[in-house]
Chains A and B, each alone.
Chain A
């Protein structure tokens, strides 16, 4: 009889025990899928939302701008840089933008905040959170006019409505104070109070004129990648392609440090939870295999008496572990599929608990917990379970081959 068939039959000698262990492995898979899937979905959403707020996944900016932002550090030939970046593999789109601090004033009040100057015609709703979040009025229509789009909270603070005037004051490229008047054409609401209360969108050429930038200067070129997991690879490609001395190419982890910290911490605690669950399940598998070895000591003695080598016995127990892993994975697929389907399509709504404006690291977090697994995550969960089960079988398999046959035969 082949070892594989023998091991398979051995596995079903204690049906209930095998089923319970298989189920616990399956349950472990379900937990791992839930933890990893919510992470894959949640982090991707957060990172993409963060990227869509201005800096992109990869940011090309003047050397030193990230540490000490200021309008005195423009990227030269920014339009040309954008054209180059657009041709790089993995880049979905790229945008030339000017970001800076300003004071915003209406007839009643003055508030400090940020401005984001864009080419309205080139911006897409897919990569610009503010366009997607428009609640009234219209998006900027041209790069050269005096339109402005503001957040709901800012509108409330300054008592502004559509068509009303907004004065913004900033320092130009030379450090001189400059002011301009704009007219509110649109209002957005992202849900993040800090953003809605302190950010305005302006036409880029108007701002360039205002702050003394040349026609092709900007503070950054924001590149949006096809898949956020490969941001670093895209960043490296951009760096190789541009090979410019006075610019630096940063990923979202550097431009949005707060969010990167939150994602890293959450991911770390997620991994720790998964490791603890894995260890608990491994202890169950280990117990099953060890018990099945210890209760068959006499049988192993017989097998060794008739000529089975310790190595073959080791192989037998490891094959049993392998089968157990396979059974567990089948259980896992059976119990996880409907759960995954539900979380993928419907999700669990936590609006009641956290509200619909919960933000982390300056990024709005979706209150509906959904799930999405990357192919790599599926492979790593399944191979992790497989390896864990095999590792749990190592000691019992070694033990089986190392009990002297004469002692095993004495076992009743």
Chain B
């Protein structure tokens, strides 16, 4: 499994909706390699978000195993999984999900503080990352003082400030205009190229699919297509 960041083996996830059992992911085997810039696509209900949640340890599989950097998630405690997310995984959500009482700086700094990074080092890294995502001068603004695109940039800054092994992005361009979406994708592509940060997107957005170097297509919770592009 050299180079594998996340490995899913025969993973099935069942949900109960009232008396009906829903098979959100069905016997899925998938590996995300270091440096991937991959898009998970498929129609609504195909299991994209569930796969991201499972890979990020936000949810546990009903069957099968998930390894993140060779650690079996089902063998870890809730706190260990939290620490794993804190140190190795970055999340970007469709609706930004910034903490409203914190400034852009504090949102980006949040995970570093959870890691216990010393103040000086923290400051340096946050200022660098905010500059990197183009938010210089907006550090002290709270989310409600930022545009949608700026908020998503803060979310990206928060996701990558710890230099995670993988960034899981759930429809990151869904709530921004096309110009902002392009700018965000430029930014993530650049991070992937320069920093070798691994990205996995769940998306409906054709622009994201066009830029992805690997396209993973799901249908009814199963792998329909896994295409690596040149």
Residue numbers of B with Cβ under 8 A of A are: 53, 56, 58-59, 78-79, 82-83, 85-87, 90-91, 93, 97, 99-102, 106, 109-111, 113-115, 158-159
Contacts and interface: CB of A to CB of B under 8 A. Distances in A.
B59 A406 contact: yes
Nearest to B115: A307
Of A9, A303, A406, most B-chain CB atoms within 10 Å: A406
B59 A306 contact: no
A1 B109 contact: yes
Given A6-B101, A310-B79, A310-B82, A305 B114 contact: no
A302 B93 contact: yes
- Which bracket fits the contact residues of A? 20 to 34
A404 B93 CA distance: 17
B151 to A, nearest CB: 13
A3 to B, nearest CB: 9
Contacts, number: 69
Given A307-B82, A311-B79, A302 B114 contact: no
A404 B83 contact: no
A306 B110 contact: yes
A138 interface: no
Given A1-B109, A305-B85, A307-B86, A406 B101 contact: no
10 contacts: A1-B106, A1-B109, A6-B102, A299-B97, A302-B99, A304-B58, A306-B159, A307-B82, A307-B114, A311-B79
Chain B interface helix/strand/loop/mixed: helix
A151 interface: no
B58 A409 contact: yes
B193 to A, nearest CB: 24
Contacts of B99: 299, 302-303
A97 interface: no
A12 to B, nearest CB: 8
Given A306-B91, A310-B78, A404-B59, 14 more contacts: A1-B109, A9-B102, A302-B99, A304-B58, A304-B82, A305-B85, A306-B85, A306-B158, A307-B83, A307-B85, A307-B87, A308-B114, A309-B82, A310-B82
A136 interface: no
Given A307-B114, A308-B114, A404-B59, A302 B97 contact: yes
Contacts of A245: none
A349 to B, nearest CB: 51
A141 interface: no
Contacts of B100: 13, 299
Contacts of A6: 101-102
Contacts of A226: none
A1 B109 CA distance: 7
A312 interface: yes
A58 to B, nearest CB: 59
A406 B159 CA distance: 18
A311 B111 CA distance: 15
